Amino acid sequence: MPKKVIISGGGTGGHIYPAIAIADALKQKDPDLEVLFVGALGKMEMEKVPRAGYEIVGLPIAGIKRALSLDNLALPFKMINSLLKAKDIIRDFKPDVAVGVGGFASGPLLMMASYEGIPMLIQEQNSYAGITNKFLGKKAAKICVAYPGMEGFFPKEKIVVLGNPVRSDIVDVSSKRRQGFAHFGLQEDKKTLFVMGGSLGARSINESLHAGLAHFLDQGYQILWQTGRTYIDTAKLAIEGLHTDAIKAFDFIYTMDLAYAIADVVVSRAGALSVSELCLAAKPAILIPFPAASEDHQTKNALALVDQDAAWLVKDAAAKDDLVPKALELLADVAKQENLKTNIRKLAKPTAADDIAEEVLKLIR
């Protein structure tokens, strides 16, 4: 009988891609192992997970809206419906282990897994634990974290510090530079700024960059720009107005390994996945934490690098004035780039996905 693992969570790329990396590592260790994903209907995991080659089932769960909303009145009904569906999924699939990667989609599935006596492993990506993971931590058999000092959120005896799992193709991007330039239609002899706002985009980053595009062109730089869906049309209009081939904009970039490969400097939010990927790719980075992240955890993620002189920090409120000058300063200073590369590389955890997969298999054994 093949072993079976169910993986739940999602909502953003920061939850989805670590989950896929764990699944890939599990399949590498045991090709016969069966993996089923459980996500939230209408969220991006319903598209991204099948694209990675895995089956996914959606629950009708939704998150709490921070503003007053009639949608919040439906939440108890969605929760009950999701719990009942999760129970059916578990009884049909019969997993040996349930893995939760955070996000509200993992709540109902892991609650029912616990009720059915299935061992649970939680993977917490951030330096500040999310609500769902904090609630489930008491019932988990093992909790894999990326940052030390998580005892304030979880039982100490269950914690293992293993880092965040990232896609294996990011481990060695230096050999892919030529391929990357060809893929994105950019020039090999120009310094490249890669700007990304996470899987859903970032308005402050997009608007700040938009206002300063001409400055980068004037100094001979080129830009790879992941805008998110809501800003892509605005970005393309701006590029057309500048009559340039030196700026390429995409709403979403699937080939992140090639994007990192061509980047001399990266501008990014400070989500856990982005930070872990930057460490592994060893790229000089300017981090702009999302200020509305729960408990300001993105600032805590960023400071973990800044305190080691491994990245620069620009506050979201200051991005309009500071982002473009800081990016131009770093692009022009090779010595500063090399210093950041050296320090950020020390923080990488290249075996995180393998190590977490091993913890999952231990629970089966």
Binding site as annotated, residues: 12-14, 126, 167, 199, 253, 272-277, 298
User: Helix H segments across 294-351?
Assistant: 297-306, 319-332, 334-345
Within 8 A by CB and 6+ apart from 167, the residues are 17, 20, 21, 24, 256, 257, 277
Q: Which residues contact 237 (CB under 8 A, 6 or more apart)?
A: none
Residue list, annotated binding site for UDP-N-acetyl-alpha-D-glucosamine: 12-14, 126, 167, 199, 253, 272-277, 298
Residue 311 contacts residue 344 (beta carbons within 8 Å): yes
The CA distance from 174 to 164, in Å, is: 21
Q: Are 230 and 162 in contact (CB under 8 A)?
A: no
Q: Tell me how far apart the alpha carbons of residues 29 and 117 are, in angstroms, rounded to a whole number.
A: 25
Q: What gap in Å lies between CA 30 and CA 41, rounded to an integer? A: 29
> How far apart are alpha carbons 269 and 288 in whole angstroms?
5
- CA 125 to CA 167: how far, in whole Å? 14
Pairing of strands 34-40, 265-268: unpaired
Q: What is the DSSP string of 97-160?
A: EEEE-SSTTHHHHHHHHHHTT--EEEEE-SSS--HHHHHHHTT-SEEEESSS-GGGTS-GGGEE
Would you mind telling me the total number of residues written for the chain in this entry?
365
Query: Of 108, 112, 80, whose CA–CA distance to 95 is shortest?
Result: 112
Determine contact, residues 314/289, Cβ cutoff 8 Å: no
CA 343 to chain centre: 21
From 65, 30, 57, 21, select the one nearest 292 (Cα to Cα). Answer: 65
Query: Using CB atoms within 10 A of its CB, is residue 222 exposed (0-12), middle (13-18) or buried (19+)?
Result: buried
